[in-house]
């Protein structure tokens, strides 16, 4: 058998790439466009629960992006109490393969990839579904993905006001300070959900609840807003979908009945969201096959569960940049 080598990019390598906001958004948008053009394969994520899902679990995401010539499998742990031992809540590895031969191409530390691609999905959802002149952001949650949500959203919208909230005061205060320092503008830490959400043009719900609890109230959502919930456990009213002009998801296969977890799981299970009344997947909008926002009066809901395609697309872009910069370790496979 011929010799086979693969590239390993560890955490410090990923950091040295210093990947830009624009590079992140472009890579994830490329994956969405391929999905909308039906040039991808997505297998619904599966879960491995070591003991108790409210404490933590593993997600396994799988897919192929044919225009990039890359298949991938990502395994990410999501453990809510990791902060107590000085670890991020999510730690991940991404494996990339040649989809025509199965030859392994690379292994990447995907912890920051997970955060970045989630933020990019949130921001790209807003690019196509929010009012163009949205100026107020309300963000619930301060976990790893939250930073990139706010950073990439502000990159696109340059908000006049950013409000953030999380349950622990030390968490929300440090989160607001980090964002203020990095974005060069005030970020307001608030101590309750309503103050954070009411009247915002864009609302992001990235909470970490041990069990479903309706903390985000429908009456706080202004007409014409974009609401993007993606917590593992639902934090929204059942009536939230009643005020929506459109409901959009990242991948219906990962949202349909019979699957666990997700911000709108009960809405799907009780037929408030169905394949028939769903407006579109975001990839269809990016590819120009379905319309996004059509006027400022539309109130829109975008639920993203996390796409393997985004991990693969961003990981592939990082791999190419690493090669041009001479970063990474070459490992012999065979």
Query: By the 8 A CB rule, do 229 and 264 touch?
Result: yes
Three-state DSSP at 276 gives coil
pLDDT for residue 312: 98
pLDDT for residue 98: 98
Global confidence as pTM: 0.94
HSE of 117 in the Cβ direction (CA atoms, 13 Å)? 30
Quote the distance between the C-alpha of residue 111 and its chain's center: 13
Number of domains in the chain: 2
CA distances, 202 to each of 95, 125, 205 (Å): 34, 10, 10
pLDDT for residue 121: 97
Alpha helices in the chain (DSSP H): 11-17, 21-36, 111-129, 144-157, 169-183, 193-197, 265-269, 282-286, 308-325
- Does 141 fall in a domain? yes
CA distance 318 to 10: 12
Residues 259 and 177 in one domain: yes
The CATH number assigned to the domain holding 93 equals: 3.30.1780.10
Residues 163 and 175 in one domain: yes
Ranges of residues in the chain whose predicted pLDDT is under 70? none
Three-state DSSP at 280 gives strand
Residues 75 and 95 in one domain: yes
Beta strands 300-303 and 226-229: pairing type? parallel
pLDDT for residue 233: 84
Residues 291 and 273 in one domain: yes
pLDDT for residue 90: 87
Query: By the 8 A CB rule, do 108 and 311 touch?
Result: no
Beta strands 280-281 and 300-303: pairing type? unpaired
pLDDT for residue 80: 86
Residues 142 and 207 in one domain: yes
Residues 221 and 254 in one domain: yes
- Does 280 fall in a domain? yes
Residue-wise burial string across 234-258, b where 16 or more C-beta atoms lie within 10 A, e elsewhere: bbbbeebbeebebbbbbbeebbbee
The CATH number assigned to the domain holding 209 equals: 3.40.50.720
- Does 120 fall in a domain? no
Domain that holds residue 261: 129-306
Residues 180 and 327 in one domain: no
Residues 327 and 268 in one domain: no
């Amino acid at each position: 058998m011929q010799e086979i080598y693969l590239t390993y990019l560890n955490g410090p390598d990923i950091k040295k790439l210093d990947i830009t906001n624009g590079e992140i958004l472009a890579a994830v948008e490329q994956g969405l466009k391929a999905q909308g053009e039906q040039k991808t394969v997505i297998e619904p994520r599966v879960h491995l629960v070591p003991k108790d899902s409210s404490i933590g679990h593993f997600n396994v995401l799988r897919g192929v992006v044919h225009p990039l010539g890359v298949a991938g499998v990502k395994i990410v742990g999501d453990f809510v109490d990791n902060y107590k031992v000085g670890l991020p809540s999510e730690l991940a590895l991404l494996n990339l393969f040649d989809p025509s031969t199965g030859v392994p191409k690379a292994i990447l530390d995907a912890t920051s990839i997970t955060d970045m691609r989630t933020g990019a999905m949130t921001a790209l959802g807003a690019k196509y579904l929010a009012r163009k002149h949205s100026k107020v952001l309300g963000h619930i949650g301060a976990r790893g993905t939250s930073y990139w949500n706010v950073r990439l959203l502000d990159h696109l919208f340059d908000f006049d006001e950013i409000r953030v909230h999380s349950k622990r005061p030390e968490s929300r205060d440090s989160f607001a300070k980090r964002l203020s320092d990095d974005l060069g503008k005030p970020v307001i830490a608030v101590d309750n959900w309503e103050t954070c959400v009411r009247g915002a043009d864009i609302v992001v719900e990235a909470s970490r609840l041990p069990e479903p609890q309706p903390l985000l109230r429908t009456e706080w959502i202004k007409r014409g807003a974009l609401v993007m919930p993606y917590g593992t456990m639902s934090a929204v009213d059942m009536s939230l979908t009643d005020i929506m002009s459109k409901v959009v998801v990242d991948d219906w296969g990962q949202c349909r009945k019979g699957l666990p977890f997700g911000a709108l799981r009960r809405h799907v299970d009780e037929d408030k969201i169905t394949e028939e009344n769903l407006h579109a997947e975001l990839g269809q909008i990016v590819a120009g096959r379905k319309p996004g926002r059509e006027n400022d009066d539309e109130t829109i809901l975008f639920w993203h569960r996390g796409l393997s395609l985004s991990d693969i697309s961003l990981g592939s872009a990082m791999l190419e940049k690493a090669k041009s910069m001479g970063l990474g370790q070459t490992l012999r496979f065979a």
